[in-house]
Amino acid sequence: MPLHKRWSEESIPVEQRPSWPVLLAEQHGIVDTRQLRAYGHTVADIEANLEAGRWQRVLPRVYAMFTGALSRTAKIHAALKYGGGHAVLSHRTAAEEWRLVPVVEGPVEITVPYTFSAVSCPPLVIVHRSRAFPHIAAGTVPPRTRLTDTIVDLATSQRTPKLATNTVIDLASRSRVSLRAMEECVFLRPPFRYRPAIRHGLALLGGGLMSALEVEYKEAVEDAHGLPQGNRQTPFEVKGKVLWEDVTYDPHGAAVTVRLDGRATHAMADVAFRDRMRDNAAELADRARLVYGWHDVRTSPCEVAEEVRMVLVREGWDPTGSRAPTCRRCGR
C-alpha cells in the first residue's frame, strides 16, 4: 500500500465508498475518468457535461467538476491524478511543499516510476521519471519526494555546476536536514548530473559553510585574495542565547567578525532583533565587524577583500607568509 491515501473505486464495495460530495471535497473538485465511471458516469455523460460547460477537462483523463481557474491545490491533485496511482510531487513543487522555497506560479512537477507512460503537459504539469521510485517517496499528503531527494533533484535541475553546489548548500542549511542524511541520499542514489558539484556542496557544508553567499565569500574574497580562512558559524552567547556569526578570524590573531547578509529585506522583527543583539554583543566585546550582502560580494569582491585585509591587519593579523592571491580581476 502506498504511503498516501490511494484506492481503486472498482475494488471497493459501493457501500464503503465515500459519498460523491465527500470525494469532491477531498480532491478539491478534481476527478479522473476511472472515478467518474465508478460513480455511474458514462462516456456520453462526461462529454455532455463538458460540452455544457459544467465541467472542464484539465488533463487527459482528468477533469474539474467546476468552471473557472484552478487553485494551486486543485492543480496539484490534477497532476497527481494524471500521473497515475504512484505519482509524487517532486523538484520545485516538492520544495514548495517542504517550505524550502516560496510558492510561485508555474507547472506542477511530479515524478513517476520509470516505466510509466505519462508525459509532460505544459503549462500545467512536468513529469519526471525515476528508477529508484520506491525509495524516494515521503509519507505525506499530498505525496512528495523525501526532503533529501527533493534537494538533490533541485540541484540537478540547475543550469550550471556552481548553481547546483549553491542549491545544495542553501537548501540543506535552510531545512536543517542532517549532513549525514544528505550524504546517504547521494551515496544510495548518486545523481547522474552534477554529481561532483553536489558532493562539493556537501563537503563545504561539512566545513561549516551554510549558504551560497558564504561560498561566494570564501572563493571570491578569501581564496582569490590570499586572505586567511576564517572560522564558520562561530557561536557567541548573548544574554543566555547562542547566536552564530558567519565568519570570524580570532585564530589568526584578529578579533574580527564578518557578517554575510543574504536577505532581501530587513523588515522581519525577529531577525532585526537578533542582529541588534549580535551588534551589541560585538561592540561590548570590542570586536571589529564588517557586514556584506550579495551585491557586495558578487560584484565587488576585490573591494571587499581590501576592506577585510585592512581591518584584519589593524586588529592584529600578520600577513607575512599568507597565501598568494589568484584574483584575475585585480591581480592581488
| DSSP classification of residue 32 | E
Q: Tell me phi and psi for residue 113, to 5 degrees.
A: -55, 150
Looking at the structure, tell me whether residues 14 and 141 fall in a common domain: yes
Q: Which three cell numbers stand for residue 162?
A: 556552481
Looking at the structure, tell me whether residues 274 and 300 fall in a common domain: yes
Q: According to the model, what pLDDT value does residue 268 have?
A: 46
Looking at the structure, tell me whether residues 16 and 71 fall in a common domain: yes
Point out which residues pair with 231 in neighbouring strands: 248
- Single-letter amino acid code for the residue at 199: R
Looking at the structure, tell me whether residues 170 and 240 fall in a common domain: no
The answer to whether residue 332 is domain-embedded is no
The answer to whether residue 116 is domain-embedded is yes
The answer to whether residue 124 is domain-embedded is yes
Looking at the structure, tell me whether residues 285 and 307 fall in a common domain: yes
Domain that holds residue 120: 9-145
Give the residue from 172, 206, 240 where a domain finishes.
206
Distance CA 52, CA 32 (A): 18
Grid cell 476527478 is found at 31
Looking at the structure, tell me whether residues 101 and 157 fall in a common domain: no
b/e per residue, 144-168, with b = 16+ CB within 10 A?
bbbbbbbbbbbbbbbeebbebbbbb
DSSP letter string, 135-203: GTEES-SS-EE-HHHHHHHHHHTSSSHHHHHHHHHHHHHHHT--HHHHHHHHHHS--SSSHHHHHHHHH
Looking at the structure, tell me whether residues 223 and 297 fall in a common domain: yes
Q: According to the model, what pLDDT value does residue 139 have?
A: 86
Distance separating the N- and C-terminal Cα atoms of the chain: 62
Distance CA 59, CA 82 (A): 7
Looking at the structure, tell me whether residues 190 and 131 fall in a common domain: no
Looking at the structure, tell me whether residues 118 and 54 fall in a common domain: yes
Q: According to the model, what pLDDT value does residue 106 have?
A: 94
Q: Give the closest residue to 120 by CA, choosing from 151, 170, 83, 93.
A: 83
**Residue-level pLDDT, tens digit, the chain, 332 residues:** 333 444 445 455 554 578 899 999 999 999 999 999 999 999 999 999 999 999 999 999 999 999 999 999 999 999 999 998 889 999 999 999 999 999 999 999 999 999 898 999 999 999 999 988 889 999 899 999 999 999 999 999 999 999 999 999 999 988 889 999 999 999 999 999 999 999 999 999 998 888 888 999 999 999 999 999 999 988 887 777 777 888 999 999 999 999 888 654 344 455 555 666 666 666 667 789 899 988 899 899 999 999 999 999 999 999 998 888 888 888 66
Looking at the structure, tell me whether residues 257 and 162 fall in a common domain: no
Distance CA 120, CA 127 (A): 5
How many separate domains does the chain show?
3
Give the residue from 191, 206, 221 where a domain finishes.
206
